[in-house]
Amino acid sequence: MAKPDYTHRLERLLEISRKLNTSLVLESLLQTITEAASELVDCDDSSILTIDEETKSLHFIAGPWFELDLMKPFRVPLDSSVAGWVFTHAQPVVLQDAGQDARVFRAVDKALNFETGSIIAVPMIFKDQTMGVLEAVNKKGNLSYNNEDILILETLASQAAVALQNARLLEKTQEAYEQMIELDRMKTDFIAITSHELRTPLGLILGHATFLRETASDEQASQMDVILRSAMRLKEIVEEFSNVENFKSGMARLHLRPTNIQHFIQEVVDSFQEIAHQKDIALSYDVTRANLTVGLDAEKIGVALSNLIKNALTYTNTEGHVLVKAEAVRSSLWVSVSDDGIGIPAKDIKKIFERFYQVESHLTRRHGGMGLGLSIARNMAEMHDGRIWAESVDGHGSRLTFVLPIKR
Ligand code: ADP
């Protein structure tokens, strides 16, 4: 016994839906939908129109492939076309005898040398929003459209609406992504230009100020010291910029050397004792194995560790504690800097490693800094194939840890 026609059409519809789910390319998806519409409604041609926001009229985005280029330039008016009525009313329209019907927009027929005899058009709806119109023309054998035809066309139209919506979302995501890349490039260029332009005048200020400091009277000496300290601070900022820029441009190279961890940590910690003392913070270190030697780029890891200690001292109040700990755990070196300072809010804990990210707004912040220290520390750790992260209980201190694989 032959299968009932309706069941056969539903099977085809299911088959087509499965096929649609395998592609993300909008043009071919819509093409498949119009071909399926022509086949299942058994008519000459099908097409899809969507709104052109600029001209507030409809335009074709899918149709018979051999005529689509001719159809695309047409703007179909919303107020004097069948597709326009379907779009604005979000309801289907069936014209069994479209030959003389004044509602049909004839310009396309004329251009394509085509005659619309009958037409069925349904809205493409996604979440209550009409996104376009799917229409099929000239049912074969001069037959009339029936309710099944409407149902099938509506099913295909909702698939087309989803495809269109996905494509729009994808486009928006792509645009946002490209903007982000562009912004990132501008940031990198800004850093490169600023550090380059600042270096020469800063070198001159430091050189001349050092010379004047040597010959200055006691009274002038303290003022020269202020100039020198400020210039040194500017030099540090320029160096931070250079570190970021070198990493970004791929100029930074690793120079791995066997490094005694005890000596290395002690040296870095000692360089901060003066600052810790001034703030009345107890700065100490703990290295579990005195003879532990690891291959690393001591200059780069020194910058990373210094940035962590600098932060711990900055964000810890007077009489606080900062502890630097280093230990070998299986085949990796763990270095952590813990403090009992102000802590880091949970919402910021991942973001603090981004360039220029600071927890406090730059307008109201009480601490200095550029928001670069941790991003540099992360770059340095990652260059060693390591990882860095932060843990904190807001208000009760933080622990920043980096782990480097010990390469043999
Ligand atoms: P900055 O130059 O602002 O210190 P960083 O990249 O070094 O930049 O740090 C980013 C932000 O992370 C800081 O502005 C600060 O808000 C937060 N932060 C970093 N370390 C600590 C810490 N030990 N305790 C509290 N907050 C910290």
Among 115-119, 265-269, 275-279, 283-287, the range scoring the smallest mean pLDDT is 115-119
The verdict on residue 1 lying in a domain is no
CATH of the domain at 169: 3.30.450.40
pLDDT for 306 beyond 70: yes
CB atoms within 10 A of CB 343: 20
Q: How far is the CA of 253 from the centre of ligand 1 (A)?
A: 26
Residue nearest to atom 26 of ligand 1 (CA): 344
Out of 230, 249, 268, pick the residue that ends a domain.
Answer: 249
Whether residues 162 and 188 share a domain: the answer is: no
Residue 101, domain extent: 6-173
Q: At a CB cut-off of 8 Å and minimum separation 6, what does 100 contact? A: none
Out of 116, 139, 173, pick the residue that ends a domain.
Answer: 173
**In sequence order, what E strands does 75-118 have?**
93-95
The model scores a pTM over 0.85 = no
Q: Is the CB of 341 under 6 A from ligand 1?
A: yes
Out of 219, 249, 279, pick the residue that ends a domain.
Answer: 249
What is the model's pLDDT at position 264? 97
Among 24-28, 161-165, 393-397, the range scoring the smallest mean pLDDT is 24-28
State how far the Cα of 338 lies from the Cα of 392, in Å rounded to an integer: 9
What is the model's pLDDT at position 1? 43
Across residues 119-131, what is the average pLDDT?
Answer: 95
State how far the Cα of 74 lies from the Cα of 59, in Å rounded to an integer: 6
What is the model's pLDDT at position 112? 87
pLDDT for 131 beyond 80: yes
Tokens of 59: 């335009």
Query: Which helix (H) or strand (E) is 300 found in, with range?
Result: helix 298-314
What is the model's pLDDT at position 4? 54
Whether residues 265 and 361 share a domain: the answer is: yes
SS (H, E, C) 255-276: CCEEEEHHHHHHHHHHCCHHHH
Strand partners, 45: 137
Q: How far is the CA of 389 from the centre of ligand 1 (A)?
A: 12
Whether residues 181 and 102 share a domain: the answer is: no
Q: How far is the CA of 403 from the centre of ligand 1 (A)?
A: 19
The verdict on residue 65 lying in a domain is yes
Q: Nearest Cα to 50, choosing from 103, 145, 125?
A: 125
Confidence of residue 100 (pLDDT cuts 50, 70, 90): confident
Q: At a CB cut-off of 8 Å and minimum separation 6, what does 278 contact? A: none
Among 4-18, 168-182, 346-360, the range scoring the smallest mean pLDDT is 4-18
Q: Is the CB of 371 under 6 A from ligand 1?
A: yes
Whether residues 210 and 61 share a domain: the answer is: no
Q: How far is the CA of 330 from the centre of ligand 1 (A)?
A: 30
pLDDT for 243 beyond 80: yes
CB atoms within 10 A of CB 63: 23
Whether residues 163 and 190 share a domain: the answer is: no
Q: Nearest Cα to 397, choosing from 333, 353, 336?
A: 336
Whether residues 111 and 188 share a domain: the answer is: no
Q: At a CB cut-off of 8 Å and minimum separation 6, what does 354 contact? A: 375
Confidence of residue 2 (pLDDT cuts 50, 70, 90): very low
Express each pLDDT in 17-51 by its tens digit: 887 777 778 888 899 999 999 999 999 999 999 99
Whether residues 234 and 364 share a domain: the answer is: no
pLDDT for 249 beyond 50: yes
Q: Is the CB of 342 under 6 A from ligand 1?
A: yes
Q: Is the CB of 315 under 6 A from ligand 1?
A: yes
CA dihedral sign of residues 39, 43, 47, 48: negative
CB atoms within 10 A of CB 208: 12
Confidence of residue 408 (pLDDT cuts 50, 70, 90): low
CATH of the domain at 366: 3.30.565.10
**Overall number of domains in the chain:** 3
Q: Is the CB of 304 under 6 A from ligand 1?
A: no
The verdict on residue 341 lying in a domain is yes
Residue nearest to atom 12 of ligand 1 (CA): 352
State how far the Cα of 344 lies from the Cα of 358, in Å rounded to an integer: 10
Q: Is the CB of 117 under 6 A from ligand 1?
A: no
Cβ-based burial of 384 (10 A; exposed 0-12, middle 13-18, buried ≥19) = buried
Express each pLDDT in 55-83 by its tens digit: 999 999 999 988 899 999 999 999 999 99
Across residues 383-397, what is the average pLDDT?
Answer: 94
Q: Is the CB of 313 under 6 A from ligand 1?
A: no
Whether residues 181 and 169 share a domain: the answer is: no
Q: H helices within 90-146, ranges in order?
A: 107-112
Residue nearest to atom 14 of ligand 1 (CA): 358
